[in-house]
Amino acid sequence: MKLTGAELIVQLLERQGIRTVAGIPGGANLPLYHALAESGLRHILVRHEQGGGFIAQGMARATGRAAVCFATSGPGATNLLTAIADAKLDSIPVIGITGQVPASLIGTDAFQEVDTYGLTIPITKHNYLVKDAAELVQVIPEAFRVALSGRPGPVVIDVPKDVQKAAVEIDALPEPGAADPAPRPDPASLRRAAEMISAAKRPVVYAGGGVISADASGLLRELVARCDLPVTATLMALGALPADDPRFLGMLGMHGSMATNAIVDKADLLIVCGARFDDRATGKVEAFAPNAAVIHIDVDSAELGKIRSLGERDAAVSGDVGVALTALLALAPAAKRTQWWKEIDAVKAAHPETPPEDPMHPWSLIRSIGAMAPLDAIVTTDVGQHQMWAAQAYPVRYPRSFLTSGGLGTMGFGLPAAIGAALARPECTVIALVGDGSLLMNVQELATLAEIGLNIKVFVFDNGQLGLVRQQQELFYQERYVASRFERRPDLAAIARGFGIEACPLASFDAAVVEQALLTDGPVLVNMAVSETENVFPMVPPGAANVQAIIRAPKDRAGRRS
């Protein structure tokens, strides 16, 4: 059969099971858009390519399947970069297909030419510049295989306009690309890990995003039940265990609870599942679980020993977390750790949680929303204070139901990621918890949302500040509040209505308003006026050990201000 490169791309995407792509057309990818007309693919026209990248991320994070976004050359590609870099740091399988100027013009500073290949080398798992339309038959399936295999990650395919237009004769379309078989850990390392779990007196599981991406949450729940193990999670692993599981200790690290960090500090064994000792989780690395031996399970062997070196008393388990947990379930004897749980309860009693009383405190608002939300709701967040309060307070029940920008920490993630999640899981209510600063970074996607009318509830924590910046200036920069306050605050509810989204302000807490928003069909925005000066605590000062977290501002301790 004879096809153009563009038609070939579209057909190969359909064969990969792609139903929806997000993007923006422009000069260099118009042949691709021309081919869309005759395809079954649904295209979501975003208002900025970064929004398209995050919609693809939302689809991928909510399902674990690879998702696709399109951008044109030059500014289209550069606008996409942040979403691609974000996917790299959180290991999300996103495939970006960018138009490029015709091959004959590459290198001439042609109109809307930028070196997309060069720009995307450091922020992708792999990237391609397609020189010949016939290569697409191999490149597209391979891109999916790369994105999904082992540790997932983003792939960018840059396709010059003439390659999109070129006609190719092919005999048959290739098989869709799929993930390689999950890498199996060395049995000896697993036997050793099982012995270490059995011998440990104070073991703690430190679960990371790898548990979610390996779809191994169920296996983790089984193992921790069998071996009676306490579990802490990184931001990326929230949902691996239900928030109300008695063995779940909550999030660790910079904004983890005092008790959780203290328990990790006491551990004699750390069972690290798909986590990478990120600095926000570990605090000062030398002081992190200083007495613990480590079992480090990761599908990316380069993570083993990268931050925490593994010695004689540790175990490096290189392979798929799910395969490893299945093996450990068979190898590790059932246990009851009464003494350790007594110690844990004592630590918890020594560091009691004191929830804020004010119902308009963001922590309280998040608890209220969580209590009223459908059980299968998917939550997205933006980045900043509200994100940390959400991590602390939202009752995350299932894997892939708490979508947040962890590694890159990209403000503007929440709204477009919610659109992606709602496209991929239309049966679920999607709740976007966003800050006013973050919302404004991709506010244009309200137009996209209004157009497609998804079941998304946007709750804005409007404090008129870059709150986490303000907090650091208060705590660590002598209260010099430089450029962290918005001198002029827009009316976000009016803005939403201007885009055609139903919206209401919330100045004082009213459960009926929250409930009404959750029950209304279609998109709704609730703009919640919250304190301008509230801080997220506990907080581990940058460079300090997790056990040195502070729970109030120093000036409050001195009694200068209550």
Partner 1 sequence: MYIPNTIIELLVDNHAGVMSHITGLFSRRGFNLEAILCAPVNGGETSRMYLLVNRDGRLEQIVRQLEKLRDVRSVTVRDDYDHTVFARIEDLITSGAG
Q: Give the interface with partner 1 as residue ranges (CB under 8 A).
A: 117-118, 121-122, 125-126, 129, 146, 300-302, 305-306
Structure tokens at 275: 């986590």
**How far, in Å, are 123, 327, 410 from residue 384 at the CA level?**
23, 39, 9
Positive or negative, the CA dihedral 291, 297, 303, 309 is positive
Cβ 302 to partner 1, closest distance in Å? 4
Q: Could you tell me the smallest distance in angstroms from the CB atom of residue 544 to partner 1?
A: 24
Of 81 and 264, the one with the shorter C-beta distance to partner 1 is 81
Give the Cα separation of 33 and 25 in Å (integer): 7
Q: SS3 string of 8-50?
A: HHHHHHHHCCCCEEEECCCHHHHHHHHHHCCCCCEEEECCCHH
Specify the residue, 306 or 348, whose C-beta has the smaller distance to partner 1.
306
The strand pair at 167-169 and 2-4 is best described as antiparallel
Q: How far is the CB of 306 from partner 1 (least distance, A)?
A: 6
Q: How far is the CB of 304 from partner 1 (least distance, A)?
A: 8
Min dist. Cβ of residue 124 to partner 1 (A): 10
> Considering beta carbons, is residue 268 or 300 the nearer one to partner 1?
300
Beta bridge partners of 378: 430
Separation of alpha carbons 152 and 89, rounded Å: 10
Residue 329 or 408 with smaller CB distance to partner 1: 408
Distance in Å, CB of 309 to partner 1, minimum: 8
In terms of phi and psi (left: phi > 0; alpha: psi -120 to 50; beta: otherwise), the region of 356 is: beta
Task: Kindly state the smallest distance separating residue 117's Cβ from partner 1, in Å.
Answer: 6
Closer to partner 1 at the Cβ: 300 or 515? 300
Q: Which bin fits 457, alpha (ψ -120 to 50), beta or left (φ > 0)?
A: beta
Tell me how far apart the 2 most distant CA atoms of the chain are, in Å: 79
Coil vs helix vs strand at 435: strand
Q: Which residues pair with 431 in a beta bridge?
A: 379, 457
Q: How far apart are CA 253 and CA 263, in angstroms?
A: 12
Between 41 and 106, name the residue whose CB sits nearer to partner 1. Answer: 106
Task: Judge contact between 163 and 140, C-beta under 8 A.
Answer: no
Rounded to whole angstroms, how far apart are CA atoms 302 and 438? 33
**Peptide linkage before 538 cis (omega within 30 of 0):** yes
H-helix segments, 284-337: 321-331
Q: How far is the CB of 182 from partner 1 (least distance, A)?
A: 16
Least separation, in Å, of the C-beta of 346 and partner 1? 39
Comparison of 300 and 451: residue with beta carbon closer to partner 1 = 300
Q: Which helix (H) or strand (E) holds 403?
A: strand 402-403
Least CB distance to partner 1 at residue 276 (A): 13
Q: Which is nearer to partner 1, 106 or 372 (CB)?
A: 106
First to last CA, the chain: 76
Exposed/middle/buried for residue 336 (C-beta within 10 Å: 0-12, 13-18, 19+): exposed
How many beta carbons lie within 10 A of that of residue 437, not counting itself? 25
Q: Which C-beta is closer to partner 1: that of 129 or that of 390? A: 129
Nearer to partner 1, 143 or 233 (CB): 143
Nearer to partner 1 (CB atom), residue 52 or residue 319: 319
Select 133 or 379, whichever has its Cβ closest to partner 1: 133
Residue 301 or 444: the one with the smaller Cβ distance to partner 1 is 301
Burial class from Cβ neighbours inside 10 Å (0-12, 13-18, 19+) for residue 56 reads buried
Q: Residue 106 gets which letter from DSSP?
A: T
Q: Which of 57, 150, 46 lies closest to 405, judged by CA? A: 57
Least gap, CB of 65 to partner 1 (angstroms): 21
How is 320-331 classified by DSSP, letter by letter? Answer: -HHHHHHHHHHH
Contacts of 282 (CB under 8 A, 6+ apart): 253, 288, 307, 308, 546
Shortest Cβ 180–partner 1 spacing (Å): 12
Smallest separation, CB 126 to partner 1 (Å) = 4
